[in-house]
Amino acid sequence: MTSSATSATATAAGPRLVEPRGELSIAVTEALRSNGVPAYRPGAVRTADPWGEDLQLALYLLYELHYRGFDGVDDAREWDPELLRLRQAMEARFLHALRTELPDAPRSVTEAFAPLLVEPPDPVGSLSHHLERKGEFWQLREYAAMRSLYHLKEADPHAWVIPRLRGRAKAAMVAIEYDEFGAGRADRIHAQLFADLMEDLGLDPAYGHYLEHAPAPLLATVNLMSLFGLHRSHRGALVGHFACVEVTSSPGSRRLAKAMRRCGAGPAAEHFYDEHVEADAVHEQVVRHEVVGGLLADEPSLEADIVFGCAATIHLEDRLADHIGAAWAEGRSALRTPLEGP
């Protein structure tokens, strides 16, 4: 499908398209650049590695059409039926891989969240513990560059669930999102606070700037929330994802704030995580008792979906931590290409 020149609206403020990493991402980037139809082999999605660079980048590019789009790409491509058909096939591949790797997932919300409420005595593989205790400045910069793909649109994917909730769950979700979006102050929007953090670390705060550097395990963590957010049928999973993030955020942010102070990262870098220590300690209670509790009261049949959203989030964060930890243990960059010096 191609849009007429008169109806096309090119996105000038969005990030640039990056180089593809395989057949599927080639199909997507070429279709977006040419305003044409994605061309790929029959069976290309079925045989693609669901965790690989190609499929995860292709999914990320298609999801970004629902956020800020890309420089020079027609805004109307957001609803292009051929692109949506390809996205649906890749989502099915991704979800199947997730469900296959989570055979022993918890069966109840209580069981899912219980271990998240207790700090492990021996936090093996925890990136925030590593950064707090002995992380180097270059590792803080890499961590921030990777996380920027979400934090520069922080809370945006979760906002899609608001019209799909009602009563207690909706009221509580809006209250949390109000804080995330700065409580009416543009300078306090969490995405802006992260941009300020990036400047302290000598990083480029432009939206999507580090996509070229981002490895597949990082893309998968961002793609998960976009996938859940864009489908009403996954509203329970998105609430589970959001609750998991809020429950684990405060202690992790406390450790990262200490890491920023220890490395002399700068006041804005410290402030971003200090803000999350306070805010998310409150959000954790609200999301568990009011958002999750309210949704279960309204739609008890969604409990398994909430649990899946939580379990999938932990699984992908563990995969990312393994990827980063293995690289750093060898003294090498966890990015596809290392960052330039600050």
Predicted TM-score (pTM) above 0.85 = yes
**What is the average pLDDT across 38-49?**
97
Percentage with pLDDT > 90 across the chain: 85
Q: Say if residue 157's pLDDT is above 90.
A: yes
pLDDT grade, residue 175 (50/70/90)?
very high
- Residue pLDDT, tens place only, 196-205: 999 999 999 9
pLDDT grade, residue 96 (50/70/90)?
very high
pLDDT for 8:
45
pLDDT for 103:
79
**What is the average pLDDT across 119-129?**
72
Nearest to 224 by CA among 45, 126, 97: 97
Q: Say if residue 44's pLDDT is above 80.
A: yes
Alpha-carbon distance of 240 to 157, in angstroms, equals 13
Higher pLDDT, residue 3 or 38: 38
Task: Name the percent of the chain in helix, strand, coil, to the closest 5.
Answer: 70, 0, 30
Among 102-106, 121-125, 303-307, which range has the highest average pLDDT?
303-307
Q: How many CB atoms lie within 10 A of CB 333?
A: 17
Cβ burial, residue 319 (10 Å; 0-12/13-18/19+) = middle
Q: Report the Cα 300 to chain-centroid distance in Å.
A: 27
Q: Which amino acid is at 313?
A: T
DSSP state letters, 101-149: T-TT--SSHHHHHGGGGS--SS-TT-HHHHHHHH--HHHHHHHHHHHHH
pLDDT for 278:
78
- Using alpha carbons, list the distances in angstroms from residue 20 to 61, 110, 148: 10, 42, 20
Indicate the average pLDDT of the chain.
93
Q: Say if residue 5's pLDDT is above 80.
A: no
CATH fold of 109-329 reads Heme Oxygenase; Chain A (1.20.910)
- Using alpha carbons, list the distances in angstroms from residue 80 to 21, 63, 85: 22, 12, 9
Q: What are the domain boundaries of the chain?
A: 23-100, 109-329
Q: Say if residue 11's pLDDT is above 60.
A: no
